[in-house]
Structure 1
Amino acid sequence: MSEPRVAALVLNYNGPRVTLETLDSLVAMRSPGTELMVIDNGSTDDSHEQVRRRFPDLRQLRVRENRGISWGLDHGLQVALDEGFDYALVMNNDIEAHPEMLVEMLAVTEADPEVGCVGVKAYYHSDRGRIWSAGGILRFREAITRERGEGELDRGQYDRTEEVPYVNGVAMLIRRNVLERIGLWDPAYFLGVEDADFCVRARRAGFRCVYAHRAVLWHMISASIGVYKPFRTFHTARSTAIFLRKYAAPHQWASSLLWFVAALPVAWLRELPRGNQRAVHAKVRGLLDGLRAPLPPLPTAVRDLVPPSAPEASP
């Protein structure tokens, strides 16, 4: 039997240093039939040239402008579909992958055709035995998603491959027929919960999303977008509102909005000594923007992409 063909896609925006570190680990990843590609999502620095100098034979897909994570990834997913790849592996540009990561992910999908998406056990890069994600949970609070095991020392408590509500897009292996059936990632999300949205759609179409505990990486968490900054708080709140509009039942709406309102004074008091109240203001603006943003039809191909309505500059 021939090896499955995998399009391994790394999304970069103005992050050449971490992107090159990520690529160093990925070129050592043992999996025949895999082509590694970098999607340059409208970078305004010399990322493209730095990648070319270090990896002259690596294919780079250049997107003209940055309209968000989904927007960039969809250009790579379209290449995977057009060129007959069996799988697409979407990844952050701030990871260190174990050489056997993809092999372990493929072992799960090849054993069960109903598995549509596979995720990894992700550790903190700065604390290599501490878990960042062991699969995802949907909870409809202030944040829609939660990473299972986040912050816990790994004592084997998540050493079981199993179905989960969603898998984090830090590294997600997607079977081709999932994309053919449900389409690409939703570009309405600029940043935040785009991976959970895709998994919800996949599960509703009859596929399973599975956490593969033997597939391992280390995540340089927030290396490219910061932690609690206005740009991030705006877009994550906006994405939360869009996700609620698409999927939430009335009681989930109520739960999420109550948690959101209750968290605002806590965030204000926490950020006040840092002079970072703008990030709290941006969070409110993001939620309001997400509640009124138009939701275009889901794209089945790049030609169908409708630019998201969110502001492209930092709020």
Structure 2
Amino acid sequence: MVYLPLLVPKYMKESLVVCLLFFERIDQTLECLQSFLFSNIRIVILNNGSSRGNREILENFCSRFHNIDLYDAPENLGVARGRNELLARTSEPWLLFVDSDIVVRTPDWLEVFHRHRRAAPETEVMVPCMFNVHEGRYNGYGSVRIEGKRLIREHDDRGSINFFPGGAAFVRRSLFARLGPYDPVMFVGDEDVELAVRALRLHAPIRGSLIHDIEFHHAHRAVTTADDQYAALTRYDKLFLLYSHLHLQAKHDIVYDAGWMHWAEEQMRLMRVMDLVTAR
């Protein structure tokens, strides 16, 4: 396939970087990259513990494009530390953190983002519309608040939010200067919730907004390889998730019932992770 990148103004390219954690799922990772390449914007990838074979496939793909930088973590850093590493390896004022199982469906997404950025200069986070293919519905968004010791999530698709999904959001770098990076103790799960709670504890909630004219598609596909199975088992490991969940509550002295165990089990079912185990 031949890629003919857009000729976009220099300021558009220099003010935003796409940040991606790579942990197996090579086919979807390449689809994700292909969807963003047309915009000719810098993409920074952190190989976060993938197999040698998948890493080589990704390196061969990335070597064809001047705007992709590929780095290697010494081990699987998890989500929070991995995103912190991407933060440290970039300098652009805005970062688009995107999970590797997401593709952008809006051709002029970069121009749309900058239009929103100029219209709302105080906004710290912008969250695009995301369709979950595996669920057949659009993702719900909202805010969090603390009532007594209970952390409550409230659904609100109207506009302003103080909580965002860490793997599908435009984030202003100054947010991390204000709040600090993601909590490195949390390997996976609730790291984005913790950041939102941290802001609430400082009496300075995250200033976020929904942008409905940029659309992402997100797909949890059935695993077909041992590498992808391992990645899914790691991502939805109940001990990792439980540790992060308990750490969040202890750190901020809150009670939070997120239904995470049922959610993790449902993702494993959708991705048919255990089917591959049975077939062996």
Give the TM-score normalised by structure 1.
0.65
Counterpart of 1:192? 189
- 2:36 & 2:152 partners in 1: Cα distance? 27
Match of 1:298 in 2: none
Find the aligned partners of 2:18 and 2:190 in 1 and give their Cα distance: 21
Structure 1 residue 112 and structure 2 residue 120: aligned?
A: yes
**Paired AA for residue 69 in structure 1:** V
Aligned to 1:89: 96
Equivalent in 223, 227, 242 of residue 247 of structure 2 = 242
Match of 1:17 among 12, 27, 38: 27
Does 2:173 correspond to 1:167? no
Shift of 1:188: 1.2
Aligned match of 1:53: 60
Q: 1:134 to 1:182 in 2, by over 3 A?
A: same
> 2:205 & 2:70 partners in 1: Cα distance?
33
Partner of 1:218: 217
TM-superposed deviation, 1:148: 4.7
Q: Deviations over 1:278-302 (max 9, x none)?
A: xxxxxxxxxxxxxxxxxxxxxxxxx
Question: 2:251 is matched by which residue type in structure 1?
Answer: K
How far 1:78 moved relative to its partner? 0.7
Question: Mind listing any 5+ residue stretches in structure 1 that lack a counterpart?
Answer: 150-157, 277-315
TM-score between both structures, scaled by the size of structure 2: 0.72
Deviates more, 1:234-243 or 1:100-109: 100-109
Rounded Cα–Cα distance in structure 2 between residues aligned with 1:246 and 1:186: 10
d(CA) in 1 for partners of 2:70 and 2:22? 10
* Count of residues paired in the alignment: 239
Return the letter of the residue paired with 2:49.
Answer: G
Post-superposition shift, 1:73? 1.3
Distance apart, 1:87 and its partner CA? 0.8
3-state SS, counterpart of residue 186 of structure 2:
coil
Distance 1:186 1:103 in 2: 32
Q: 1:256 aligns to what?
A: 257
Q: 1:77 to 1:232 in 2, by over 3 A?
A: same
How far the C-alpha of 1:214 sits from its partner, in A, is 1.7
Query: Contact 1:18–1:94 at 8 Å: present in 2 too?
Result: yes
Identity of matched residues, %: 22
Amino acid in structure 2 at the alignment position of 1:36: I
Q: Deviations over 1:266-286 (max 9, x none)?
A: x8xxx9xx9x9xxxxxxxxxx
Pairwise CA RMSD: 3.4
Unaligned runs of 5+ in 2: 1-8, 223-227, 275-280
Aligned equivalent of 1:122 = 130
User: 1:240–1:104: structure 2 CA closer, same or farther, 3 Å change rule?
Assistant: farther
